[in-house]
Amino acid sequence: MSTDGESWDSKKGRIEQLEGNCIMKKLIFVSCGQYTEEEKSLGKRVVEIINSTENLRAYFAELQSNAEGLSQNIFSNLSSAAGVIFIMHPRGDISTPSGKSITRGSVWIEQEIAIVAFMNEVMGGHVDVKAFIHKGIAREGVRSVLILNPHEFSAESEVLEEVEKLAARWSMEIRPQIHIEYKVDVFFDNSRKAHKLFIVAVNNSKKDLVKY
C-alpha cells in the first residue's frame, strides 16, 4: 500500500501532467539625457514605469567612462533589447556652414539611434523604437532620413504620460525574447513515483541561448 491508502498496483501506469510556461521579461532600453538632475530624474521615473509594468524590465543607459563599460553594458543591452525609448534634450545651438543657427540634440543618443537602425535594417532585428524629441531640436544625421515618428515634448509630464500608454501596449505586443514551456509527467511504475520533465525554449533574441 502507498502512504495515501491506495495500492501501488492501482496507481501503476497512471500519468499526471503538469504544464506551464515561463516568459523572461522583455528588456526595454531607456536612453535619456543625464546632464541635469531633471534629466536624470526623468530617466529614473521612466524606468519605474517600465519595471512596474507586467512582462517588462528596464535598462537605464548610464554614462560609461571606459570602452569595457560601453561594450558590456550599453552595446550588450542594446543588442538584447526588445524595445528602446530615446529621450533627447537640447545640447546648445550651432551655426551651419550656410550660416543657419540650429539647436543640436544629444550626440550620444543620435549614435544610439543609428545603432538600432542598423540592427533593424541590416541585421534583421525587430526592436521597437519610441523617440521623444524636445521641441526645437533639429533633425541631423541618421535621424534626418529615418521614419521615427517622434513625439515632440516641451514638458517632462508629456513624456511620462506617453510612456505609461506605451508600456501597457508593449507589454502585450512585443514578443518575449525567451519563452520557455515545460511539461512534467508524473507516473508510477514498480512501486516508485517517477517524473519526466520536457522543456521547450523559444529564442526570439539575437543572442545564443547559452548566454542567458
CB-based contact 106:61 (threshold 8 Å): no
DSSP state string for the chain: --TTS--HHHHBT-EEEEEEEEEPPEEEEEEE--SSHHHHHHHHHHHHHHHTSTTEEEEE----SSHHHIIIIIIHHHHH-SEEEEEE-EEEEEE-TTS-EEEEE-HHHHHHHHHHHHHHHTS----EEEEEEETTBPP-GGGGTS----EEESSHHHHHHHHHHHHHHHHHHSPPSEEEEEEEEEEEETTEEEEEEEEEEEE-SSS-GGG-
pTM higher than the cut 0.75: no
What stretch of H or E contains 96? none
pLDDT for 3: 46
- Residue 84's pLDDT is 96
Q: Which of 2, 11, 16 is nearest to 196 (CA)?
A: 16
Please list the ranges in the chain whose pLDDT falls under 70: 1-24, 62-71, 174-184, 186-191, 202-212
- Quote the pLDDT of residue 10: 42
Single-letter residue type at 212:
Y
Which positions ≥6 away from 75 have C-beta within 8 Å?
A: 115
C-alpha–C-alpha distance, residues 200 and 209, integer Å: 12
